[in-house]
Amino acid sequence: MIPRLLMRLLTKKRFIPFVTGIALLAFVACGGSDTGSSTVASTSTAVPAAVAQDSSSGENSRVAPELRDTESTSASTNVGTDFESRAGGTFRRLWSDPPTLDPHQVTDTTSAGLVVELFSGLVKLSKELQIVPDLAESWEITGDGKIYTFTLRENLMFSDGSPITAADFKWSWERAANPDTESTVADVYLGDIVGINAIVDGDAVSSDGITVIDERTLRVTIDDAKPYFIAKLTYPTAFVLKQENVEAGGDRWTDTPVGTGPFVLDDYRVGERIVFARNENFNHRKAYLDKVLFNLAGGIAMAMYETDEIDITGVGLADLERVQDPDEPLNRDLVNIPPGFSISYVGFNTEKAPFDDMKFRQALNLAVNKELIAESVYAGLVLPAYGILPPDFPGFTGDIVGLRFDPDDPEASEARARAVLAESKYADPETRPRIVITIPGTGGSPSLDVEIVADMWRNVLGVEAEIQQVEWATYLQDLNRERLQAFGGLGWEADYPDPQDFLDILFHSESPGNHGRFSSDIVDSLVERARTEPDPQMRIDLYRQAEQEIITQAAWLPLWFDTEGKGLIKPYIKDYKFTPIIVPKLGDVWIDK
């Protein structure tokens, strides 16, 4: 049976904009829409390979490649003729108003895509997804993997020219954890550090796990040896801020932020534009671009690209055939955008009826014909998701047994879904609680994904679900406070390439990122063991078992994985690289015209 809504769409040949590549979905975890951040090479290692190890010092010593075997030099370097020949110009793109520019409050990709260009931390992910030193020059891991000693680069400066010291990191991390900061993720990304959770709980104001040895040396002690800990420090929660800037600015300090990234905030007019300018005190090679202009006013991206208002855009289904025509002038600008490390889904609050019943959640999963939607609505440009980890992501195995609707035998699939619903305590529609799916939006057409899913639930199971839209910042607030009964129109994009970033953060019963309050002793035990398991293959196996249990218990309704997409980028824009997750990249972009 084809749902009524889907039949209408097929009859009218109506297609939604292409959702992969230049993402139009809202992503959390990140989360939000990064209008131009999706994708390139993946990695097959369980934990991303960091920079080269030097066994001559400590249990594990890592140093910035450009500083290895050289004398320490000033952190600010510019390659004379190369910089001079490339410097200048403005890169223009569409964006949305970010919920925040405070790194310690970031939970979405709309914000993170901006923040990583304004601020930075000890380490970062390179465009090849390797953990590399940033403001740190090197680090050592000792104490059976529990003690990290970071050495900062010499002569570090904030964007206003004032010095950065190890004490600034201690203040910043303790500020992130302080309840007054209202970070919803401080314990997620910094909670492995001894003493941080006491600050989060309001029982302390400083952490014994963060020790300032001297101006350039910071020692960090974590609660157990966790191979992914260093990757967490690439997330904005661990970025360094200038104390005087934050305290003097109060609630509006981000109007004039002092940062450490390749750019500074030059202008921000809500709903109109954000302008970045080059940070002349950047601690690495300065950015080539004079400015980056983020258009916040909206508009039809393809039309804006064709009229030279923006320099980059994704290609929607309506334009895909045209731009792929070799005789079309736009064809010369066409680029492939490999899939991002993300998943879209409908989430269930498993503590709110009727989603507190596993059989009910399983029935909802079994009633959705994802293959039909993927082919008929998205023209095969999304991949139906039956697990949690995206293809090619570290820990992905491909052997997760999902709750599938069989498109080759729809009658049997529908009968199976109804049979499972009949085993639920909410089988009777007369006594079933009202169902409301909340999605981000501001009054336009609801998310097509969610509309069709709700239509399938109605047709196959007789389950009615209302769809309500709320503004994006409000949506995030309600999501983080676990007020929503069911939530859709969003996805999760990885912050770092390790399965812990999906399976532990999203599904451990005590994780603040577990917005559906899913609770399973089996899953908790598996991901807790994986946190400290030193053997990479054993870690993957533990995560595989956890993922299977999550899917079997139908904690979510997974919808789509990203697939390779198409985008347009002006031929004069050089060295813009698509990456599967948010990383700083605009400092390398230059304009050749």
**328 residue type, one letter:** E
Return the closest-CA partner of residue 48 out of 34, 62, 36: 62
The pLDDT of residue 54 is 37
Give per-residue pLDDT as tens, 155-182: 999 999 999 999 999 999 999 999 999 9
Q: How many Å apart are CA 555 and CA 169, to the nearest integer?
A: 37
Give per-residue pLDDT as tens, 59-118: 466 665 444 443 333 334 454 568 899 999 999 999 999 999 999 999 999 999 999 999
Give per-residue pLDDT as tens, 394-436: 999 889 999 999 999 999 999 999 999 999 999 999 999 999 9
Check if the beta carbon of residue 338 is closer than 8 Å to that of residue 40.
Answer: yes
Check if the beta carbon of residue 345 is closer than 8 Å to that of residue 385.
Answer: yes
Q: Which two tokens stand for residue 111?
A: 């914000």
Q: Which helix (H) or strand (E) holds 542?
A: helix 536-552
Q: Which two tokens stand for residue 479?
A: 């999501």
Go through the domains of the chain in sequence order and give each one's CATH number. 48-90+118-264 (3.90.76.10), 340-561 (3.10.105.10)
Return the closest-CA partner of residue 236 out of 583, 589, 587: 583
Q: Which two tokens stand for residue 94?
A: 């569409």
Q: Which stretches of 145-245 are assigned E, i.e. beta strand? A: 147-152, 210-214, 217-221
Q: How many Å apart are CA 451 and CA 7, to the nearest integer?
A: 13
The pLDDT of residue 446 is 62
Q: Which stretches of 244-319 are assigned E, i.e. beta strand? A: 263-269, 273-278, 291-295, 312-314
Q: Which range (41-55, 69-83, 238-252) has the least confidence?
A: 41-55
Beta-bridge mates of residue 220: 148, 210
| pLDDT band with cut points at 50, 70 and 90 for residue 473 | confident
Beta-bridge mates of residue 437: 467, 486
Q: Which helix (H) or strand (E) holds 540?
A: helix 536-552
* The dihedral formed by the CA atoms of 108, 109, 112 and 114, expressed in degrees to the nearest 10: -130
27: left (phi over 0), alpha (psi -120 to 50) or beta: beta
Give per-residue pLDDT as tens, 353-385: 999 999 999 999 999 999 999 988 887 888 999
Tokens 């990479």 — which residue? 536
Average pLDDT along the chain: 87
Q: Is the pTM of this model over 0.75?
A: yes
Residue 15 has pLDDT above 80, yes or no: no
Residue 232 Cα distances to 58, 186, 192, 494, angstroms:
22, 11, 10, 11
DSSP 472-521: HHHHHHHHHTT--SEEEEEEEE-SSSSTIIIIIHHHSTT-TT-TT----H
| pLDDT band with cut points at 50, 70 and 90 for residue 314 | very high
Check if the beta carbon of residue 569 is closer than 8 Å to that of residue 576.
Answer: yes
- Which of the 8 DSSP states describes residue 432? P
